[in-house]
Each structure stands twice: as structure tokens, then as C-alpha cells.
Amino acid sequence: NAGVTQTPKFQVLKTGQSMTLQCAQDMNHEYMSWYRQDPGMGLRLIHYSVGAGITDQGEVPNGYNVSRSTTEDFPLRLLSAAPSQTSVYFCASSYGGQISYNSPLHFGNGTRLTVT
Amino acid sequence: LAKTTQPISMDSYEGQEVNITCSHNNIATNDYITWYQQFPSQGPRFIIQGYKTKVTNEVASLFIPADRKSSTLSLPRVSLSDTAVYYCLVGGTGAGSYQLTFGKGTKLSVIP
């Protein structure tokens, strides 16, 4: 049971380049989400999904796109990278669509992205 | 969604009990309180969850007063390996509950 798997672990992009951060989970979780973590800022929600075909914006969605074609995968796309997107990105999932008893978030180990 | 407030940092000596309090004044009736621990270069991991009164597991206790406007994570006899950032998260099955927003967390430093 791998849990939540994020790839790549590290990535360096030039301004204006595009890329996709991959996230996959093998727990049949309906809820998946993306966070970014910057020094002193905690975790900020970018986008989330409550099931295949359903996505919505979090508190910092600008510059990022998501889609959810399968239950297992929830990729995060940067269409034109900017230095302000330098951050550590975490993917998380949980059973069901909400926080409920015994249904906490499971996190991946993150992707460290640098945009120069 | 309930906003949370925690101390930015705390220091403790090894072997002491550590209590970290989280304020969540606008918690909703159906919200749960969940605490996570994050080590450097890792994703947060679940520690404990509760709704009211007291919950205890093998690593921590969670105290929630009757009004549920705050909660306290208690770590008994901390060791150096407990040095981490601790986050409380409040959410449930109400409207807006999918937007699971973390606060800035509490950085706990355990001193030998």
C-alpha cells in the first residue's frame, strides 16, 4: 500500500515553462487536494476534488489548473511558471469527501519546485 | 470554515510534557478537530482527532472544552524526535467543509 505518491520530488523550471506535478493514491479516496507551503505561511489550499470529474478552487488557485479523470490521479498543471510559484507542493487525500471521524488527510512527501 | 490560531513556536526540554493550544472560535457544530505533525522535507501526518471532551491514543492526548472554541494537544515526555511543526485543522460535514484550510502551525523545538 503506497498511500499518496508525488512525482517528481524536485524540479527546476525557467520562467514561462509549463509542467505537471503528478499525484496518485491507491486508497480509493474520493477527496484529493493540492497545497503549497512557503516559509512562514503554513499550508495553503490550491485546488481540490471531491471525486472524478469534480474540481474546485481553494484559496490560492491562480496560475494552476487541475483535472480529475480517475479516482486515483489528481495532477496539478502550471501553464506558465513564475518565480512566485517557487514552493513545496503537497498532495493530500481522504476517504469520502470531507473530514469525518476517522477520515483524516493523507499527505504525499511533496514536490520541491524552483522557478528561475 | 473555522479559522485556527496557534502559537508560532514553543521550546521544551526532553522528558517534559508539552501542551499546544489551538483557538477556533467559530467552530461549527459538525466540525471535527484534527492535529497533524510535520517533519522537515515530509508531508504532514495525522496524530489525533476529536470532537469533544478528551481523546487519547498511543502518541498524544487531545483536550476539548465544552464550548469547543479551543483544543489542546498534549505530548507526554517529549523527546528530540518530537521536534516538528504541529498543525490543528478544523472541518466537518458542513457547507464549505471541502476547503480544508490549515493555519501556520506551531514549531516545537525539543532541547536536550
C-alpha B69/C-alpha A81 separation (Å) is 40
- Please give the Cα distance from B50 to B71 (Å, whole number): 9
Could you report the per-residue pLDDT of B35-64, keeping only the tens digit for each? 999 999 899 999 999 999 899 999 999 999
Neighbours of B47 (CB within 10 A): 20
The verdict on a CB contact (< 8 Å) between B98 and A31 is yes
Task: Name the closest residue on chain B to residue A47, using Cα atoms.
Answer: B99
Confidence at A20, pLDDT banded by 50, 70, 90: very high
- Across the interface, do B98 and A43 touch by the CB < 8 Å criterion? no
pLDDT of A69-96, one tens digit each?
Answer: 999 999 999 999 999 999 999 999 988 6
